[in-house]
Structure formats: structure tokens, C-alpha cells
């Protein structure tokens, strides 16, 4: 396959969609991805506390609830959720007000009479890329299967990976039936800020996800885009085992489903 043929295939395959992606203004908010490891036997109680109290109190104190999920396979009893804030100062002020709220203190105390609900909390601060898409509601109203994917790049190749997603990958995902969600970089100052892309896709179900990715990987436009980007970078844009995928299902109180 010649260089000029590759370029022709790429241009014909994406056309104006790539231009629109480049012109899109990035979402300037700060996002926070929080992962809660529930104590043994406490996941249902933790979900009940979020459903009955926590989400409403987050909103009261200026936080935006984006999405709440649990893994399809969940041996570690995880709750994963995404919040948004205008900026880091607003985030810190919101959490201070939330933790000091008497309604929260009462809900926490009542829910933990028989022990703590959360064994461990992990957090990542994220910023949206310029090719990120806002989460869209399910067209048919049914809950979808979500996929959280994390890519770790080889040194110095995060901009090249962003370029490939901006110009090719997101358009091809949509072509093959996947719904693009938010695409993030880690906020500055965190480990991985210079080499991690984290993003969300939505699928109808597991069978649709498998078919979409099989068709995507076989698409000649993708094959050409991958080849061209790796030739320019002198090798793979991602590290060995640098692509991780976790399938998620939305909980009943998640804004996005």
C-alpha cells in the first residue's frame, strides 16, 4: 500500500468529520473520576446512600453528577462515578461544603452503624480533550453497556495519539456503531498526565461491542491510519499491554444510561 493511497483512503473515509473535530471547542471544566471499593457486603448499602442522599447533596453544593457505574464483572465491589466542576477551586469549595453539611453527617452516621461502607477511594482529575463528546442519552431509553478505556502511550506520543483519535478513530468508532462519550487527559501534576488517554464508549450490548470493534479493526481506513501514525512515530503509539478496557453498567440513579 503506497503512501499516497493511504492518504487518499483516509481523506475519503472521514472528510468533513475530521475538520469538525478539529474546530470543536474543548469543555473547559474539571472532571473527577472517583472509584470506591466497597467494604465486603456493603456495596448495596453504599449504592442506597448515593441514591437516597449523596447525589442530591452533591448537586446542592454545586457539583455536576455526570455518570455512575459498576463493572459488569465486579469481584472488587467497585462503584465508579464521574463529577464535573467549573475548576479546581470550585471543586475544593464544593467538597468542603458537602463534608460539613449536617445532612451528610447524619446520612453517613446512620448508614455506618454496622461499619464503614467504603474500604478505599481512588480519584483522578481529568480535563476533556478537544475531540471529546458529551455523553448522549440512549436513543431507545434502554440502559446501554459502557466501556471505559485507558491508553498508555510510549514516551512523547500522547499528542500523536490524540491526533489519530481526533482525525480518524472517533469518526470510525461512530461509523461502526459505537457512541463516543467523553475523552480525557489527566490533569497536570498527576502521574500519567503526559502519557494517558482515558475515554468512554457506549454500546447496545456486549455482542454489539464485539461486532463494532471487529468491523473497526478490519476497516481499511483504520488500517491505513494506524500504519501511517506508527510510521511517523517510529513504532507503536501505545506501550505493550497499554490498552485497558473495563465494561460498565449504569446504576439506576446515574444521569447517563
Can you give the CATH number for the domain in which 245 is found? 3.30.70.100
Domain that holds residue 189: 3-26+129-250
CA distance 185 to 197: 5
- Same domain? For 220 and 231 the reply is yes
pLDDT tens by residue, the chain, 257 residues? 443 334 343 443 434 344 344 445 678 999 999 999 999 999 999 999 999 999 999 999 999 999 999 999 999 999 999 999 999 999 999 999 999 999 999 999 999 999 999 999 999 999 999 999 988 766 667 789 999 999 999 999 999 999 999 999 999 999 999 999 999 999 999 999 999 999 999 999 999 999 999 999 999 999 999 999 999 999 999 999 999 999 999 999 999 99
Name the β-bridge partners of 36. 79, 121
Q: What sign results for the dihedral spanned by CA atoms 82, 85, 87, 91?
A: negative
Q: Could you tell me the CA-to-CA distances from 69 to 54, 82, 154, 192, 209 in Å, in that order?
A: 15, 9, 29, 23, 17
102, 154: one domain: no
Closest CA to 256 of 136, 90, 109: 136
Q: Is residue 256 part of a domain?
A: no
Cβ neighbors of 127 (< 8 A, separation 6 or more) are 26, 30, 31, 184, 185, 186, 187
118 shares its domain with 133: no
204 lies in a domain? yes
Is 257 domain-assigned? no
Domain boundary among 127, 162, 181: 127
Q: What is the pTM of this model?
A: 0.88
Does residue 145 sit in the same domain as residue 211? yes
Pair 14, 66 in one domain: no
Asked whether residue 255 is assigned to any structural domain, the reply reads no
Amino acid at each position: 500500500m503506497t503512501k499516497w493511497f493511504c492518504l487518499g483512503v483516509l481523506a475519503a473515509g472521514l472528510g468533513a468529520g475530521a475538520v469538525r473535530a478539529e474546530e470543536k471547542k474543548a469543555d473547559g471544566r474539571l472532571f473527577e473520576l472517583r472509584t470506591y471499593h466497597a467494604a465486603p457486603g456493603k456495596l448495596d448499602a453504599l449504592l442506597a446512600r448515593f441514591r437516597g442522599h449523596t447525589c442530591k447533596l452533591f448537586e446542592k453544593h454545586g457539583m455536576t453528577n455526570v455518570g455512575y457505574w459498576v463493572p459488569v464483572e465486579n469481584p472488587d465491589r467497585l462503584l465508579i462515578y464521574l463529577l464535573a466542576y467549573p475548576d479546581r477551586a470550585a471543586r475544593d469549595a464544593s467538597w468542603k461544603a458537602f463534608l460539613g453539611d449536617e445532612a451528610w453527617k447524619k446520612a453517613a452516621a446512620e448508614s455506618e452503624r454496622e461499619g464503614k461502607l467504603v474500604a478505599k477511594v481512588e480519584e483522578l482529575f481529568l480535563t476533556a480533550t478537544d475531540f471529546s463528546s458529551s455523553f448522549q442519552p440512549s436513543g431507545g431509553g434502554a440502559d446501554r453497556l459502557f466501556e471505559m478505556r485507558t491508553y498508555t502511550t510510549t514516551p512523547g506520543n500522547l499528542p500523536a495519539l490524540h491526533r489519530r483519535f481526533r482525525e480518524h478513530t472517533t469518526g470510525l468508532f461512530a461509523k461502526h456503531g459505537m457512541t463516543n462519550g467523553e475523552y480525557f487527559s489527566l490533569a497536570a501534576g498527576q502521574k500519567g498526565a503526559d502519557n494517558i488517554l482515558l475515554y468512554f464508549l457506549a454500546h447496545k450490548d456486549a455482542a454489539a461491542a464485539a461486532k463494532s470493534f471487529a468491523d473497526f479493526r478490519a476497516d481499511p481506513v483504520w488500517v491505513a491510519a494506524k500504519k501511517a501514525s506508527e510510521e511517523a512515530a517510529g513504532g507503536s503509539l501505545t506501550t505493550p499491554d497499554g490498552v485497558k478496557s473495563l465494561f460498565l453498567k449504569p446504576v439506576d440513579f446515574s444521569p447517563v444510561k
